[in-house]
Amino acid sequence: MFRIGDLTIENPLVLAPMEDVSNLAFRLIAKRIGGPGLMFTEFVSAMAIHYGASKTLRKMRVHPDERPLAIQIFGGDPDIMAETALIAQDMGADVLDVNMGCWVPKVCKTGSGAALLKDPDLAERIVAKLATTVRIPVTVKVRAGWDYSMFAAPELAKRFEGAGAKMITLHARFARQGFDGQADWKLIRDLRAAVTVPLIGNGDVKTPEDALRMLSETGCDGVMVGRAAISNPWALARIKAALVGEPQPNLPTLGDRVRTALEHIERMIELESESEDGELRACRALRGQIPLYIKGEQGAAQARERLTHCSTLEEYRSVLEGFAAATPTHPS
Ligand SMILES: Cc1cc2nc3c(=O)[nH]c(=O)nc-3n(C[C@H](O)[C@H](O)[C@H](O)COP(=O)(O)O)c2cc1C
């Protein structure tokens, strides 16, 4: 348990913001099965909201069952970000998170995301502006710095705390690294000494053992999990059980995986229901994720390949249920 301002987070597992993954469909499943104490939306462009992009606005929809929820925004202009922050608050966000970790050129060249790590004055002004604009707590997700030449996070985090930030998350890599190499958890430990607000550690946590080790080696208050949770909410359930000292839950059966994959598709279609070709959009968007639900099952290679071409719920259903029916059941 930890607190972000006045908000109590019931357990230390945090679901990461992931573009094109951490949408409402995914989050509702992650919450029900994995039970993280806090979840993040994928990042939302403040500039897109400013220009009235309805597709971007839909990314900020909040369902009561998924709270507490952090809506993450990105941008480089304090006033434009403040507009979006107010909308996020009105839409039901419990926390407003600022992205200062995204390293991809399309984001950084607008002065947003990890580019802010190179402009501490602007980064601090953004935090100060947001903290005085919204009632909900403002938090920041950073990387260690832009490149290896400077571990910028401690100095930045101190300034953010002074400007009103109520929690810091560190993805323990430098921006220039992208996803290369291993996350260096020593950076989390070093940042711990610099701030008094809750610190969430992030990077390469895949198992319950990883999560416990991150907590004990770094002194962080919470553990954020990203990639390990994609198409695998049961990984969250196992990590959460370890973090709160409960027995490990059973592994999912193939039937559980197939049912959950189908639920994921149905929920995505519902999310896209405002578009005329919503089913197609939803099915296409999930072509990378649905095959992962059966990854590791014996003989799944062919079915996984077929799943990367599905365009309707019925096509997905036929491949997934066909695979399950043809796979001998074994005790879990
Ligand atoms: C597909 C994908 C999309 C991501 N999108 C975001 C994002 O929108 N905002 C953000 O702060 N981080 C984003 N990240 C980074 C993750 O939140 C997290 O910091 C990173 O994946 C490291 O954690 P992990 O090793 O548990 O995956 C993304 C990562 C992935 C894999």
> Which residues sit with their C-beta closer than 6 Å to ligand 1?
16-19, 21, 42-43, 72, 99, 101-102, 141, 171, 202-205, 225-228
Residue 304 CB burial class (10 angstroms; 0-12, 13-18, ≥19): middle
Would 75 be classed as within a structural domain?
yes
Query: Which pLDDT tens digits describe the chain residue by residue (332 residues)?
Result: 999 999 999 999 999 999 999 999 999 999 999 999 999 999 999 999 999 999 999 999 999 999 999 999 999 999 999 999 999 999 999 999 999 999 999 999 999 999 999 999 999 999 999 999 999 999 999 999 999 889 999 999 999 999 999 999 999 999 999 999 999 999 999 999 999 999 999 999 999 999 999 999 999 999 999 999 999 999 999 999 999 999 999 999 999 999 999 999 999 999 999 889 999 999 999 999 999 999 999 889 999 999 999 999 999 999 999 999 999 875 54
- Residue owning the nearest CA to atom 21 of ligand 1: 226
Residue that is last in its domain, among 200, 218, 244? 244
**CATH assignment of the domain containing 58:** 3.20.20.70
Would 208 be classed as within a structural domain?
yes
On whether both 197 and 298 belong to a single domain, the answer is no
On whether both 206 and 299 belong to a single domain, the answer is no
Residue 330, pLDDT score: 58
pTM: 0.97
C-alpha 171 – ligand 1 centre gap (Å): 9
On whether both 214 and 262 belong to a single domain, the answer is no
Angle between helices 233-244 and 24-34 (to 10 degrees): 40
On whether both 152 and 216 belong to a single domain, the answer is yes
Residue that is last in its domain, among 244, 277, 306? 244
- Angle of CA points 314, 316, 319, to nearest 5°: 105
Tell which atom from ligand 1 comes closest to the C-alpha of 183: 25
C-alpha 73 – ligand 1 centre gap (Å): 14
Determine the structural domain holding residue 263 and report its residue range: 254-326
- Residue owning the nearest CA to atom 31 of ligand 1: 227
Structurally, the chain folds into a number of domains equal to 2
On whether both 183 and 214 belong to a single domain, the answer is yes
Is 319 in contact with 325 (CB distance < 8 Å)? no
On whether both 195 and 287 belong to a single domain, the answer is no
Is 174 in contact with 145 (CB distance < 8 Å)? yes
Task: Reply yes or no on whether 220 is catalytic.
Answer: no
C-alpha 224 – ligand 1 centre gap (Å): 10
On whether both 185 and 282 belong to a single domain, the answer is no
- Residue owning the nearest CA to atom 5 of ligand 1: 18
Would 27 be classed as within a structural domain?
yes
Report the C-alpha gap between 65 and 31 in whole angstroms.
8
Tell which atom from ligand 1 comes closest to the C-alpha of 97: 11
C-alpha closest to that of 332 among 260, 256, 264, 259: 256
C-alpha 67 – ligand 1 centre gap (Å): 20
Would 249 be classed as within a structural domain?
no
Would 291 be classed as within a structural domain?
yes
C-alpha 16 – ligand 1 centre gap (Å): 6
Mutate to test the pocket of ligand 1, among 171, 174, 184 (most ligand atoms within 8 A of CB): 171
C-alpha 174 – ligand 1 centre gap (Å): 13
Mutate to test the pocket of ligand 1, among 13, 14, 15, 19 (most ligand atoms within 8 A of CB): 19
C-alpha closest to that of 72 among 112, 43, 39: 43
Tell which atom from ligand 1 comes closest to the C-alpha of 21: 1
Stretch (H or E) spanning 163: helix 153-163
Would 331 be classed as within a structural domain?
no
On whether both 263 and 240 belong to a single domain, the answer is no
Report the C-alpha gap between 252 and 40 in whole angstroms.
24
- Residue owning the nearest CA to atom 28 of ligand 1: 18
On whether both 193 and 150 belong to a single domain, the answer is yes
pLDDT digits (tens, 9 = 90+) for 180-227: 999 999 999 999 999 999 999 999 999 999 999 999 999 999 999 999
On whether both 91 and 175 belong to a single domain, the answer is yes
Tell which atom from ligand 1 comes closest to the C-alpha of 206: 26
The number of beta carbons lying within 10 Å of the beta carbon of residue 47 is: 18
On whether both 190 and 292 belong to a single domain, the answer is no
Residue that is last in its domain, among 198, 216, 244? 244
Is 138 in contact with 166 (CB distance < 8 Å)? yes
Residue 331, pLDDT score: 52
Write down the catalytic residue from 102, 108, 220, 310.
102
On whether both 202 and 125 belong to a single domain, the answer is yes
pLDDT digits (tens, 9 = 90+) for 274-296: 889 999 999 999 999 999 999 99
Would 199 be classed as within a structural domain?
yes
C-alpha closest to that of 141 among 92, 91, 176, 191: 191
Would 172 be classed as within a structural domain?
yes
